Amino acid sequence: MGFEGVKALTFDVFGTVVDWRTSIIEEGEVWGRERGLEVDWVGFVDAWRAGYGPAMKRVNEGELPWTNIDGLHRMILEEIIGEFGIEMEEGEQAEWNRVWHRLKPWGDSLAGIERLRKKYIVASLSNGNVALLTNMAKNTGFAWDCVLSAELAGEYKPHTAVYEKAATLLGLETAEVMMVAAHGGDLAGARRAGMKTAFVRRATEYGPEQVNDLTAPEWVDLAAGDFLELADKLGC
């Protein structure tokens, strides 16, 4: 299949571009050692992430007013720290919440995005808020041409408004944009909005026992094992 009409690639970030789980576990282990605390950091991080989808759904369904991801992460953090025996002052909670701004990329992310950028506009399209994504790019060196976020649409992916807003802001039709993600649900939303879709496999996003998103949905336009393979397939 040719992709001559594609002018921009938009990237999911959490799990697709950055390894959120390992990043936060490692930071938690350092934080705990410095304070002499024994914490189940794997369980803690998984619980924090588990609240993410339901919280966004509550926003999309109108149960909660618009709240950006920093706000939702903080809400979930406050709910779970007691369950794991962690005591944090207000300032520590605020700093811990910013761990999502400091996530580390997968090993192929920086080089792959740089290659893809030579041919296409490359932009984030994450549920993360603009400040979070901007700080992350600064910390990691991501060479985005543009930082796009669900925050700009006032809805969360996979709502079609997010993908449509991204294309509009880029001055493009949705058919001229390819969504790159490691999650079938995200790509399904992009497809409904009229975007092309590329699945990139991140088999350990949720750890070694991950069971979801191990294979590309049969309807995606392109599938790759990492960003370097994606660049190869797109002739970059």
- Residue ranges and CATH numbers for the domains of the chain are 8-19+103-233 (3.40.50.1000), 20-101 (1.10.150.240)
> What confidence tier does 177 reach under pLDDT thresholds 50, 70, 90?
very high
Q: Are 127 and 157 in contact (CB under 8 A)?
A: yes
Structure-token pair, residue 58: 């509550």
Dihedral in degrees, nearest 10, Cα atoms 151, 156, 160, 166: 30
Q: Average pLDDT of 150-173? A: 97
Long-range contacts (CB closer than 8 Å, 24 or more residues apart) made by 129-135: 129/68, 129/69, 129/70, 131/70, 131/101, 132/69, 132/70, 132/100, 132/101, 133/13, 135/98, 135/101, 135/102
> What confidence tier does 1 reach under pLDDT thresholds 50, 70, 90?
low
The whole-chain average pLDDT of the chain stands at 95
* Predicted local confidence at residue 209, as pLDDT: 87
Residue from 160, 155, 148 nearest 185 by CA: 160
Contacts of 53 (CB under 8 A, 6+ apart): none
- Helices 69-80, 130-140: axis angle to 10 degrees equals 90
* Predicted local confidence at residue 85, as pLDDT: 87
Report the percentage of the chain scoring pLDDT > 70. Answer: 100
Structure-token pair, residue 152: 């700009």
* Predicted local confidence at residue 108, as pLDDT: 98
Task: List, for residues 178-231, the tens digit of each pLDDT value.
Answer: 999 999 999 999 999 999 999 999 999 998 888 998 999 999 999 999 999 999
* Predicted local confidence at residue 89, as pLDDT: 87
Report the percentage of the chain scoring pLDDT > 90. Answer: 89
Task: List, for residues 6-37, the tens digit of each pLDDT value.
Answer: 999 999 999 999 999 999 999 999 999 998 88
